Amino acid sequence: MVDEQIIPRGITDTRVLDAMATVPRHLFVEDAMAANAYGDFPLPIGSGQTISQPYIVALMTQALQLKGDERVLEIGTGSGYQAAVLSRICEKVYTVERIDGLLGKARRIFDKLRYHNIISRIDDGTTGWEDEAPFDAIIVTAGGPYIPQPLLDQLADPGRMIIPVGEHGYQELKLVVKEDGEVKTFTVEYVRFVDLIGTHGW
Ligand code: SAH
């Protein structure tokens, strides 16, 4: 997967490449899909949600420029795969999911793999995780109509956020960089994520 899909598309951060070579992606998909777990596409994970294509996980993770000592907030735990990748290259991952059944499954895999630096909860992630803010990096893995203000407020300075923003089923992947009190936004890629549902989403 790393050699055929991720390196050829220009992902160079060795922390990201190593993490994606280490985390067993097949554990995060349903048993019937395990044979396809390392394919170059997203897969259904139940409850109408999907685990992202491996390259998109790599691209979003690399955009955060993690060095190892960061506290990272993820909105949209889903299968738990993205959180697992993050957990290998930062200090602590705080991940929020709105669907109970998905988070339950993800937690069982984190325990099995002994990924103890992942903390999770059920909530509307569009309001962030105020008690634990600020975060050095924020990653949103569902697409909403705009960037939720609570997430901008909970991003540390300096800090980086990656988030798909746009229409249902079609978004621009935005990189938000906060530095010296200024916020700059860049478009990194065009993507298709499931809906971000909540107070500051759909
Ligand atoms: N990162 C996931 C992919 C998630 S798919 C993985 O690696 O598998 C997007 C997820 O975002 C879905 O599970 C969906 O339930 C969740 N989601 C949508 N809106 C949300 C919200 N407001 N707060 C938390 N989770 C949300």
How far, in Å, CA of 142 to CA of 28, rounded? Answer: 17
Of 191, 186, 195, 193, nearest in space to 63 by CA: 186
pTM of the entire predicted model: 0.98
74 CA closest ligand 1 atom index:
1
Give the pLDDT of residue 6.
98
Pocket of ligand 1 (CB under 6 A): 45, 49-52, 75-76, 78-79, 81-82, 96-99, 102, 124-126, 141-142, 194, 196-198, 201
Mean pLDDT over residues 28-33, rounded?
92
Mean pLDDT of 103-114: 98
Domains of the chain, each with CATH number or no CATH: 2-191 (3.40.50.150)
* Residue 52 designated active-site: yes
Nearest residue by C-alpha to atom 11 in ligand 1: 76
- The confidence score (pLDDT) of residue 176 equals 98
Residue range 54-92, pLDDT digits in tens: 999 999 999 999 999 999 999 999 999 999 999 999 999
Kind of pairing, strands 71-75 and 92-97? parallel
